[in-house]
Amino acid sequence: MELLKERILAEGENLGGGILKVDSFVNHQVDPDLMNEAGKEFARIFKDVGANKILTAEISGIAPAVTTGLHMGLPVVFARKHKPITMPDQVLLTLAPSHTKGRKVELIVSPEYLSGGARVLIIDDFLATGATILGLVRLAMTAGSEIVGIGTLIEKSFEKGRERLQEVGVPIHSLASIKAMEGDEILFD
Amino acid sequence: MELLKERILAEGENLGGGILKVDSFVNHQVDPDLMNEAGKEFARIFKDVGANKILTAEISGIAPAVTTGLHMGLPVVFARKHKPITMPDQVLLTLAPSHTKGRKVELIVSPEYLSGGARVLIIDDFLATGATILGLVRLAMTAGSEIVGIGTLIEKSFEKGRERLQEVGVPIHSLASIKAMEGDEILFD
């Protein structure tokens, strides 16, 4: 998606160690128009996969997942990282190593909203090592749901997450794929 | 907003202790269409306050803030509860007691995205005791921003948050205001 690539080139910042800062339009400040365009694009890409639910992870996955849900007419479930008191005692929980946090985080979904019969489209902000998305895949599969597609705003292809996700056997699409970050230069695939 | 009230009556669950569970369309699973309608309604209500930025708190404030931003053409900043590594060392941080967590949580905003000159519309999911929203007000004021309005999806008027927010001196609007929850009954103002 050209609009997203242009924005990454204009405002993205290589912090070193494979970290791309896009806090001005994705991770701290959000551009709703850009997210809406991304949602439209995901809806176009995944229109034929037969999804009936979108799954994402809090926090930064919520905006693109909600705009995608809007354009596909689908509900969005966001996996929680801390179990709120409104959740039942029995939940689905998995651990995923967080790249940017340097530790494992919990991903928690209530079986009330993810169950057998769901055809799940996963939408998230980043595809880096694939660890978070694999966590979402495990949650959905444990719930008896079927994964039908994976979409992310930004892929860092040099972190090989896509290879780890091949085993899921579903279409994987990123709206911008970065092959290298060298100094101030960001290179797309 | 009738649509929201109907949804609360149909799916909201009084867990006791003043806790309203709306996990099926706000706090864990999100209904993007409902959020879009809420965003439209906030955009209508606050069209004349001269906002140039929307501020919310992660996590459940993000969806209604983004749809409001979409309809108002404004960027959304979501206060983080944990400082990510992409944030600068110097940030704005305040503590707000969390009703549903039983402890204080941090609310953190980078001065990169909230500064003097911003005219801030605060959008959040709940107005209960007002503690989170007062935390956002403190962050914005410390940044030198001006608050121009406060909008929430659901107000629990029996928790008196609105009274605590009067001192801010701006319009406060909730799309559904609950005056009491008794057993299975939810009563609106």
**What is the per-residue pLDDT across B164-188, written as a single tens digit (0 to 9) for each?**
999 999 999 999 999 999 998 999 9
- pLDDT level of residue B129 (50, 70, 90 thresholds): very high
Q: Is pLDDT at B138 greater than 80 in this prediction?
A: yes
**What is the per-residue pLDDT across B139-155, written as a single tens digit (0 to 9) for each?**
999 999 999 999 999 99
Mutation target to probe the B interface, by most B beta carbons within 10 A, among A28, A62, A125 is A28
The amino acid at B24 = S
Contact A70/B at CB under 8 A = yes
Give the model's pLDDT for residue B101. 73
Contact A19/B at CB under 8 A = yes
Q: Looking at CA atoms only, how far is residue B118 from chain A in angstroms?
A: 13
Half-sphere exposure of B131 toward its Cβ, with a 13 Å CA cutoff?
A: 16
Q: Is pLDDT at B103 greater than 90 in this prediction?
A: no
Domains of chain B plus CATH, in order, are 2-188 (3.40.50.2020)
Residue of B nearest to A31 (CA): B75
Query: Taking a C-beta distance cutoff of 8 angstroms, is the pair B57, A146 a contact?
Result: no
**What is the per-residue pLDDT across B23-48, written as a single tens digit (0 to 9) for each?**
999 999 999 999 999 999 999 999 99
- pLDDT level of residue A99 (50, 70, 90 thresholds): confident
Q: Is pLDDT at B98 greater than 90 in this prediction?
A: no
Contact A110/B at CB under 8 A = yes
Percent composition of chain B: helix, strand, coil (DSSP 3-state, to 5): 35, 35, 30
**What is the per-residue pLDDT across B42-90, written as a single tens digit (0 to 9) for each?**
999 999 999 999 999 999 999 999 999 999 999 999 999 999 989 999 9
Cα A125 to Cα A132: distance, rounded to the nearest angstrom: 11
Using DSSP's 3-state secondary structure scheme, residue A173 falls into strand
Cβ neighbours of residue B48 closer than 8 Å, sequence gap 6 or more: none
Cα A12 to Cα A22: distance, rounded to the nearest angstrom: 5
